[in-house]
Amino acid sequence: MTAKKYDAIVIGTGQSGPSLAARLTKEGLKAAIIERKLFGGTCVNMGCVPTKTLVASARAAYMARRGGDVGVTIDGPITVDMQRVKERKDAVVRQSNDGVTNWLRNMSNLDVFEGHGRFESPTTVRVNDHLLEAHKIFVNVGGRAMVPDMPGLEEVDYLTNSSMMEVDFLPEHLIVVGGSYIGLEFGQMYRRFGSQVTIIQRGDRLIPRDDDDVSTTVKEILENEGTEVRLNAECTSVEKRGEKVAVKLDCDGGSKQVVGSHLLLAVGRRPNTDDLGLDNAGIETDSRGFIVVDDQLRTNVPGIWAIGDVNGRGAFTHTSYNDYEIVVANLFDNDPRKVSDRITAYGLYIDPPLGRVGMTEREVRQSGRKTLIGKMMMTRVGRARERGETQGFMKILIDAESKKILGAAILGIGGDEIVHSILDVMYMDAPYTVIQRAVHIHPTVSELIPTMLASLEPLQT
């Protein structure tokens, strides 16, 4: 079969592929893009967009129940219509999905192929009956939920973040295996919808990559609303119990099993590289299947780049989009941007949310440098008190010699937004005194950042 020739091929339409296709074609290149499932990938269809839409419904239910705290009377019980919740989520997702789909379909100089793309050589990719050839190939295939090798799983119905998208009913008791971002967001959301929720975490802390004080406070926030959190509990097997599912635990304290109506597995993600024909192209992966890239996202094979979650250098929509920016800056703009210029930044969308940038306190301690720390509880923040939402704290770490900001965590109302004022100063590479001398608006959470910076103390080792 003769191959159809292109200047560039993009495999996957995640958070960087479509923007990349737009720039490639704008630069006059003839390009092809391949998608095997839903245009827009994980974020649009079963990740950020739907979960944050569902979080909004869950927060509305929470606030309605809390109406009495602020003097608002709602007669009758607060109930959640899960079908309407799902319909609203579907409508928001559809809008985003339609946007990407129409954008790609109407892009001049771009051919869109629907099907599974697989390398046949370093320059050819097969999709359905088509063989495509190009000397520039960009892999944006993302990842999927990891399903652990747990005895009994083949006999029970379990949910992942993808199948959760179809839930239009209220699970009586949702068991969430995994105490990291995805598990916690779903856990709190379903508790607020009205389910009984048990979160099972094998280690001694939730969100283990974060600091102890963050993990502990997140656990308290969840427990305050009646979510059961089981730490140090390893799931050993699952089994069907009539209509229910039982999860057996290896744990020191507490019951050795949890019986619930539904089981959500949220134990991590794996890259979609197992059926991509990488061997045919000679593309190197690491031990977990992520494609190995250099600082400018080139694989070991000239003319092939890997962008987004698949390269293991980021696991977020903003890191995937930044990968696109890095690639085009290097290809077209004579601007040598690189991954190592990126400062760690992410949000955890429980309510109140966590905004995190730069190094954790643990990483700073490990680095051994002289450090200043500032911390303020949300109970001291007027805006939080006025809103009656005082859970959480903010914390900032400063290099004692250079006065540069090393990292920060804001766990509290607006934390996901407020943390950007700190992130931007970090990108400016300016000293913390720039924020400390800034006059912030009253009454906001942000106005307490200069106050926190005025009371820095040495980080005790």
* Euclidean distance between CA atoms 107 and 116, whole angstroms: 21
Q: Whole-angstrom Cα distance, residue 454 to residue 456? A: 6
285 lies in the site for ligand FAD, by CB under 6 A: no
Which listed residue (6, 8, 10, 16) binds ligand FAD by CB under 6 A?
A: 16
My answer on whether omega of the bond before 352 falls inside 30° of 0, hence cis, is yes
**Footprint (CB under 6 A) of ligand FAD, residues 173-212:** 182
Q: Report how many helices (DSSP H) and strands (DSSP E) the chain contains, helices first.
A: 13, 24
Encoding tokens for residue 81?
């219509």
**Contact with ligand FAD (CB under 6 A) among 18, 117, 194, 355:** 117
Q: Which residues contact 284 (CB under 8 A, 6 or more apart)?
A: 291, 292, 299, 300
Helices 17-26 and 317-332 cross at an angle (nearest 10°) of: 20
Helix (H, G, I), strand (E, B) or coil at 133: strand
Q: Cα dihedral sign for 52, 53, 58, 60?
A: positive
Distance between CA atoms of 84 and 89, rounded to whole angstroms?
Answer: 8
Nearest approach, Cβ of residue 48 and ligand FAD (Å) = 4
Task: Provide the pairing of β-strand 244-251 with 257-260.
Answer: antiparallel
The residues in 316-345 that bind ligand FAD, with binding defined as CB under 6 A, are 316-318, 320
Which residue in the shown chain puts its C-beta closest to ligand FAD?
A: 142
Tell me: does residue 134 bind ligand FAD (CB under 6 A): no
Q: In terms of CB distance, is 102 or 366 closer to ligand FAD?
A: 102
Q: Candidates 6, 190, 193, 349: give the one binding ligand FAD (CB under 6 A).
A: 349
Judged by CB, which is closer to ligand FAD: 232, or 296?
Answer: 296
Token output for 115: 């099907």
Strand partners, 126: 118, 131
Instruction: Choose, by CB under 6 A, the member of 15, 180, 188, 322 that binds ligand FAD.
Output: 15
CA angle, residues 329, 289, 42, in degrees to nearest 5 = 65
Number of residues that bind ligand FAD (CB under 6 A): 37
Rounded CA-CA distance 411/210 in Å is 11
The region of 46-54, 95-103, 202-210, 257-265 touching ligand FAD under the rule CB under 6 A is 46-54
Tell me if 351 contacts ligand FAD by CB under 6 A. no
The torsion defined by the Cα of 213, 423, 451 and 442, in degrees rounded to 10, comes to -110
* Window contacting ligand FAD (CB under 6 A); options: 56-64, 248-256, 294-302, 306-314: 306-314
Among residues 19, 25, 51, 57, the one that binds ligand FAD under rule CB under 6 A: 51
Assess 271 for contact with ligand FAD (CB under 6 A).
no
Binding status of residue 34 toward ligand FAD by CB under 6 A: yes
Q: Tokens representing 395?
A: 């914390």
Q: Give dist(CA 420, CA 303) in Å, integer.
A: 35
| 35 binding ligand FAD? (CB under 6 A) | yes
65 vs 130 by CB, closer to ligand FAD: 130
Whether residue 442 lies in the annotated active site: yes
CB of 51 to ligand FAD, least distance (A): 5
**Which listed residue (262, 318, 440, 442) is catalytic?**
442
One-letter amino acid of 186: F
Q: Is the dihedral of CA 348, 352, 356, 360 positive or negative?
A: negative
Identify residues 71-110 at the interface with ligand FAD (CB under 6 A).
Answer: none
Nearer to ligand FAD, 275 or 341 (CB): 275
Asked if residue 124 binds ligand FAD (CB under 6 A), the reply is no
Nearer to ligand FAD by C-beta: 22 or 251? 22
- Which of 276, 278, 331, 373 forms a contact with ligand FAD (CB under 6 A)? 276
> Least distance from C-beta 11 to ligand FAD, angstroms?
5
Nearest CA among 431, 398, 396, 397 for reference residue 411:
396
Find the binder of ligand FAD among 10, 18, 20, 36 (CB under 6 A): 36
> CA-to-CA distance for 104 and 22, rounded, in angstroms?
8
Q: Enumerate the active-site residues.
A: 442
- Residue numbers at the binding site for ligand FAD (CB under 6 A): 11-16, 34-38, 41-43, 47-48, 51-52, 116-117, 140-143, 161, 182, 272, 276, 308-310, 315-318, 320, 349
